[in-house]
């Protein structure tokens, strides 16, 4: 197994951040052949999604999360920015992990799919992401 932790700057706004380039670079550095790429976010307020980016789906995901999990005062978890409790519930809907098949060193994603970090927590501008390749 080859594993590496990277830092991703998400800034002070909600974001869907495409990690495809980081994943490709990691697989090259790992000398990956066939196997599985596991992507893990060790945070209680971030998740990973495999979606299309750049055509509005990333913004649609954030809008859907705002509708499903409003950033108001209904949450019992109350530290941080107003509505921060929603950020702690979000990983139940957008999990903090993803596993992608790898063949010949390439992720077997669909034509428009990307591995994306989903971060609704505006209080934490830097995230860690663990990339692990398990050879088949």
- DSSP, collapsed to helix, strand or coil, labels residue 123 as coil
| Domains within the chain, CATH numbers bracketed | 2-135 (2.60.120.460)
Higher pLDDT, 81 or 38: 38
* Phi and psi, residue 96, nearest 5°: -85, 20
Q: What is the pLDDT, as a whole number, of residue 38? A: 98
Is the per-residue pLDDT at 6 higher than 90?
yes
Q: How far apart are the first and last CA of the chain?
A: 10
* pTM for this entry: 0.94
pLDDT digits (tens, 9 = 90+) for 39-71: 999 999 999 999 999 899 999 999 999 999 998
What does pLDDT average to over the chain? 95
Q: What is the pLDDT, as a whole number, of residue 128? A: 98
Strand residue runs (E) in the chain: 2-9, 15-18, 35-40, 46-51, 97-103, 106-107, 114-119, 126-135
d(CA 35, CA 44) in angstroms, rounded, equals 28
């Amino acid at each position: 197994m080859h594993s590496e932790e990277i830092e991703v700057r998400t800034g002070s706004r909600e974001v869907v951040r495409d990690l495809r380039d980081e994943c490709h670079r990691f697989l090259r550095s790992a000398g990956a052949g066939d196997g599985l790429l596991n992507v893990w976010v060790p945070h209680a307020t971030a998740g990973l999604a495999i979606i299309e980016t750049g055509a509005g789906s990333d913004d649609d995901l954030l809008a859907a999360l705002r509708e499903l999990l409003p950033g108001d005062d209904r949450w019992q978890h109350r530290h941080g920015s107003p509505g921060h409790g929603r950020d702690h519930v979000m990983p139940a809907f957008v999990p903090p992990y993803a596993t992608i098949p790898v063949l010949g060193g390439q992720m077997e994603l669909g034509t428009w799919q990307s591995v994306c970090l989903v971060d609704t927590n505006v209080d934490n501008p830097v995230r860690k992401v663990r990339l692990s390749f398990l050879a088949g």
